[in-house]
């Protein structure tokens, strides 16, 4: 009997499997979500055995850590490409930063959950993820510091103010991801939400 092409194991050249597993994992997370993410399903889609995955990733968390690291790289790049770091108006820069974050959460909700989930909580086991998360946070600190230097934001610990900013924007992103409907904002665009958060933050900064 002729084997159906889709049932054959896909051949990988030496050194290619790790990248293939990563891409398949990212696709699986994007389409099915974290609850459906498992090494057996990744292996099935890759057409390889579980033991083949273990040669590159010792467990599920290690593979999720790779995805989280890439997520932070994507987020850092999105902020850098938005122009917010070069925006001379500190208030506009904060608003743009919030919009970029909300857009990222809207486009990559499952990835965002991985980025700020158990992998980041186990930062000692995954130092690369922790380092990238701090690089992303440093971008926000840069905007806060600029606003303080311009006299737009109050003086005070930059890290604390950046944490407050991130917490408010991340909270709004979580509300959207969970599909929670809040009176008065259910029809708001991402731009409206970013402006709303920015206005509240600036009042407190």
The pTM of the full predicted model, rounded to 2 decimals, is 0.85
* 143 and 191 in a common domain: yes
CB atoms within 10 A of CB 51: 8
* 135 and 41 in a common domain: no
* 100 and 20 in a common domain: no
* pLDDT value of residue 7: 37
* 14 and 114 in a common domain: no
Total structural domains in the chain? Answer: 2
Q: Is 91 helix (H, G, I), strand (E, B) or coil?
A: helix
Domain that holds residue 27: 5-54
* 170 and 74 in a common domain: yes
* 30 and 69 in a common domain: no
Distance, in Å, from the CA atom of 148 to the CA atom of 129, rounded to the nearest integer, reads: 29
* 81 and 144 in a common domain: yes
* pLDDT value of residue 60: 93
- pLDDT tens digit sequence for 163-186: 999 998 999 898 888 776 665 555
* pLDDT value of residue 205: 60
43: its two tokens:
């292996």
* pLDDT value of residue 183: 57
* pLDDT value of residue 14: 42
Token look-up 């930059």 returns: 158
* 49 and 67 in a common domain: no
- Domain's final residue, options 36, 54, 72: 54
CB atoms within 10 A of CB 24: 19
Tell me which residues of the chain have a pLDDT lower than 70: 1-15, 180-188, 204-205
């Amino acid at each position: 009997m002729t084997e159906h092409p889709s049932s054959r194991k896909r051949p990988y050249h030496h050194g290619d499997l790790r990248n293939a597993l990563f891409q398949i994992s990212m696709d699986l997370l994007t389409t099915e979500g974290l609850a459906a993410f498992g090494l057996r399903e990744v292996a099935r889609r890759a057409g390889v055995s579980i033991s083949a995955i273990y040669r590159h990733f010792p467990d599920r968390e290690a593979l999720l850590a790779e995805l989280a690291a890439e997520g932070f790289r994507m987020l850092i790049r999105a902020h850098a490409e938005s122009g917010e770091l070069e925006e001379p108006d500190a208030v506009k820069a904060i608003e743009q930063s919030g919009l970029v974050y909300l857009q990222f959460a809207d486009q990559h909700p499952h990835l965002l959950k991985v980025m700020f989930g158990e992998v980041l909580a186990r930062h000692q086991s995954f130092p690369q993820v922790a380092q990238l998360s701090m690089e992303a946070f440093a971008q926000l600190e840069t905007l806060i510091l600029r606003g303080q230097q311009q006299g737009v934001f109050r003086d005070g610990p930059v890290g604390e103010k950046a944490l407050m900013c991130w917490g408010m924007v991340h909270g709004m992103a979580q509300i959207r991801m969970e599909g929670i409907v809040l009176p008065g904002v259910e029809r708001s665009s991402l731009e409206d939400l970013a402006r709303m958060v920015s206005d509240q933050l600036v009042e407190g900064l």
